[in-house]
Amino acid sequence: MIEVKNITKKYGDTVVVDDINFEVNDHEIVGFLGPNGAGKSTTMNMITGFIEPTKGKIIVNGFDISKSPIKAKKQIGYMPESVPLYNDLTVKEFISYMADLRRVKNNKKEEVKKIMEQTGLTNVQNKLIKNISRGYKQRVSLAGALIGSPDVLILDEPTVGLDPKQIAEIRALIKELGKNHTVILSSHILSEVSQICERVIIINKGKILAVDTPENLENKTKEDNSIIVTVEDKKSNMKNIDKKLKGVKSIKLIKDNQDGTMQYMISADKDVDIRKSVFEVLPKEDITIFELKKTENTLEDAFLQIIDAKESEIKAIEDKKEKQKAKRAQEIEKMDKKERKQAIKQDRKKEKQEKEELIEKEWEKDREIEEAEKAEKKKIREIKKELKKKHKNKNEKEEKAEVKTEAKSESKLEIKAEEKTDLEAKAETKTDKKQENNSNKMNDNKKNTKVENKNKPKNKQGNKTNNSSQKKNNSNQNKNNNKTKKEGGNK
């Protein structure tokens, strides 16, 4: 993107470019038009950084051409009108040299080959530049601008000196380049500009007169609603036909053709489409229509009208000033010596005051521009701060989310561990209860045996028998215990 803001260029007291503003969008082809001495080449040289502006700012792809000239110039490929080339180099050597200047290191040979194919220079690549035609020299200059694939291309009269076939090829190439590059194209061939360019900037005497599409400029400068009709009128009824056609302003005979037909221009009001009524009315009046077409306003017509209108406006202002000066001079002549001196003194004081006011206005305007730039920089800083803040908050949120996920995972692990310990504890309690039950059963058996012994009779025989039976029981019990021990050992 190119931004030209309040650019002025002065050489002494001569103002070549006077406070101009315009923008060129990315991948847009813009035509830069104006008569000789209008300030076109000066403006283009300022955009490329070849000339420094007296006032104002030029930004190329975000880089200020005055503050960051190297970075800004890297974005630009420039083809000047004068075609400055090294005549003792071959075409290929010159393009390779331009590649070195633009610091093309990766795939330099392939880049040079591609550019030569694009510009149709492959057949003359080994010829010295001094031995090729002007058309080929123009192509070499264009190839020098294209090398390195710069984002912005500034082409000053790229088709000058080319034959019709070459012009068509270069036009097609520029259209293709517009898909990937921002192009500013200067040309005096207005039909070429209307075919290639999406927008047109018209400049004259250092001031921009119009910025619009070619179609809009053509429509805006269209004088009236007219058609050209070629007819055969044997009874000469065209003389009175204007009374029968609604909305017609005038009918003019343009020419008599050799085949007996006549060509007329019929002008109508702006909002009236006269063609339908012409087709309806003329045949009824024995007038045969051979051809009917609308008058077309070209970009050239629009350009001339805009330039003429501005020049006539400037001339009217200058004439008014001259008349005022002449009138004042006549008034002074009629005065006596003392009055004349006082009048001249007053006029000089007035001129001085006007100059001071003009300087004050310029200073005020410069101050407003500076304040606007400061406000813009402040706004950019605030936007950057907000973006940093958002980025910081985003990072904090992400960190918190990570901490939460980690905490959740840890809590899950803890819950699992607790569940495991609970299961183990339950298993231990089960085993303890089993052991308690077994021990309780043993104690109950012992108690029962004691109670039985107490309830038995205490006689000697009974005691003896009981003792003998008890001994037997004890011996049997001991045998059983030994057996269980052996079995447990074997197990």
pLDDT in tens, 24-79: 998 899 999 888 888 888 999 999 988 999 988 899 988 888 888 888 888 899 98
* Residue 486 binned pLDDT confidence (cut-offs 50, 70, 90): very low
If asked whether residues 201 and 260 sit together in one domain, one would say: no
Residue 161 in any domain: the answer is yes
If asked whether residues 131 and 239 sit together in one domain, one would say: no
Vertex 41, ends 40 and 47: CA angle to 5°? 95
- Residue 169's nearest CA partner among 136, 128, 134 is 136
User: Mean pLDDT throughout 329-351?
Assistant: 85
Question: Is this structure's pTM higher than 0.85?
Answer: no
Asked if the model's pLDDT at residue 441 lies above 60, the reply is no
Residue 159 in any domain: the answer is yes
- The pLDDT, as a whole number, for residue 442 is 64
Distance (Å, whole) CA 304 – CA 43: 21
- The pLDDT, as a whole number, for residue 436 is 60
CB 263 within 8 A of CB 238: no
Indicate the residue among 296, 316, 331 that finishes a domain: 296
**Higher-pLDDT residue of 366, 15:** 15
224 to 239, 248, 449: CA distances (angstroms): 21, 11, 139
* Residue 457 binned pLDDT confidence (cut-offs 50, 70, 90): very low
If asked whether residues 34 and 169 sit together in one domain, one would say: yes
If asked whether residues 191 and 257 sit together in one domain, one would say: no
Report the DSSP beta bridge partners of residue 90. Answer: 128
If asked whether residues 153 and 78 sit together in one domain, one would say: yes
CB 143 within 8 A of CB 115: yes
Asked if the model's pLDDT at residue 489 lies above 70, the reply is no
417 to 121, 281, 366, 407, 421: CA distances (angstroms): 80, 103, 76, 15, 6
- The pLDDT, as a whole number, for residue 463 is 44
Asked if the model's pLDDT at residue 437 lies above 80, the reply is no
- Residue 4's nearest CA partner among 40, 81, 57 is 57
**Count of structural domains within the chain:** 2
Tokens of 93: 């050597």
Q: Kindly report the CATH number assigned to the domain that includes residue 16.
A: 3.40.50.300
If asked whether residues 283 and 137 sit together in one domain, one would say: no
If asked whether residues 96 and 20 sit together in one domain, one would say: yes
- The pLDDT, as a whole number, for residue 153 is 92
**Higher-pLDDT residue of 362, 489:** 362
Residue 96 in any domain: the answer is yes
If asked whether residues 211 and 243 sit together in one domain, one would say: no
pLDDT in tens, 361-395: 877 877 777 787 788 778 888 888 888 888 877 77
CB 119 within 8 A of CB 143: yes
Q: How many Cβ atoms from other residues are within 10 Å of residue 78's Cβ?
A: 21
479 to 34, 151, 449, 467: CA distances (angstroms): 134, 111, 19, 18
Distance (Å, whole) CA 170 – CA 119: 8
| Pairing mode of beta strands 199-204, 29-33 | parallel
pLDDT in tens, 253-312: 888 888 889 888 888 877 777 888 888 888 888 889 888 887 777 777 788 888 888 878
If asked whether residues 149 and 237 sit together in one domain, one would say: no
Print the domain residue range for 263.
224-296
If asked whether residues 192 and 229 sit together in one domain, one would say: no
If asked whether residues 214 and 257 sit together in one domain, one would say: no
286: Cβ contacts below 8 Å, ≥ 6 apart = 233, 234, 235, 237
User: Mean pLDDT throughout 2-21?
Assistant: 90
Residue 16 in any domain: the answer is yes
Tokens of 229: 């009709």
Residue 116 in any domain: the answer is yes
If asked whether residues 169 and 40 sit together in one domain, one would say: yes
Question: 444 phi and psi, to 5 degrees?
Answer: -60, -40
CB 193 within 8 A of CB 214: yes
Rounded to a whole number of angstroms, the CA Rg of the chain reads 52
Residue 383 in any domain: the answer is no
Residue 262 in any domain: the answer is yes
- The pLDDT, as a whole number, for residue 224 is 64
Distance (Å, whole) CA 345 – CA 337: 12
In percent, the amount of the chain with pLDDT more than 90 equals 12
Question: CB-hemisphere CA count at 13 Å for 338?
Answer: 0
Mean pLDDT score of the chain: 80
pLDDT in tens, 111-170: 999 999 988 899 999 999 999 988 888 889 989 999 988 899 999 888 877 788 888 888
Residue 183 in any domain: the answer is yes
462 to 181, 449, 477: CA distances (angstroms): 131, 17, 21
Asked if the model's pLDDT at residue 427 lies above 70, the reply is no
* Residue 475 binned pLDDT confidence (cut-offs 50, 70, 90): low
- The pLDDT, as a whole number, for residue 201 is 92
- The pLDDT, as a whole number, for residue 83 is 74
